[in-house]
Structure formats: structure tokens, C-alpha cells
Amino acid sequence: MYVCVCNGVTDRDIRRAADAGCRELAELTARTGCASACGCCASLAAALLDEAACDRDAALPVAA
């Protein structure tokens, strides 16, 4: 699904950025251009980034 229509950023792009270590909307914007034009997608993009980061962190093994 397209999250940022202005820059063609999809939910998959956001998940990939989270997998690469992106954690903040400002960093996502720098990497993808998401939310850099009209900004209407900023809240959804931030929520998806947080969700993807949490999913990624939950999948990491716990250190003993």
C-alpha cells in the first residue's frame, strides 16, 4: 500500500527501512523522502515505522 503518494513510498519501503535500523520519522524522511512534501502521511508513516521496529526487535534473540 502506498503511504506517501507524493514520493511513492510504500509500507514495504517503511518496513525495509526499519529492518535497516531506521527508528525515527526524520531518518525515514531522509532515507525515502516519505513525509517530505505535503506531510499528510507523517502520522501513518511514523506509526508503521514504530510497528515495524517493534516487530523487528521482538524477533531478535534475547541475550542470556
Which CATH number does the domain housing residue 40 bear? 1.10.10.1100
In a domain? residue 24: yes
In a domain? residue 42: yes
Q: How confident is residue 10, by pLDDT bands cut at 50, 70 and 90?
A: very high
Q: Provide φ and ψ at 51, rounded to 5°.
A: -60, -45
Q: Which domain holds residue 15?
A: 2-59
In a domain? residue 64: no
C-alpha to C-alpha distance for 61 and 1, rounded to whole angstroms: 30
In a domain? residue 33: yes
- Total tally of structural domains belonging to the chain: 1
In a domain? residue 20: yes
How much is the pLDDT for 63? 64
Q: What would the pLDDT profile of 11-64 be if each residue is shown by its tens digit?
A: 999 999 999 999 999 999 999 999 999 999 999 999 999 999 888 777 767 666
How much is the pLDDT for 64? 62
DSSP string, 1-64: -EEETTTTEEHHHHHHHHHTT--SHHHHHHHH-TTSSS-TTHHHHHHHHHHHHHHHHHHSPPP-
Model confidence, pTM:
0.85
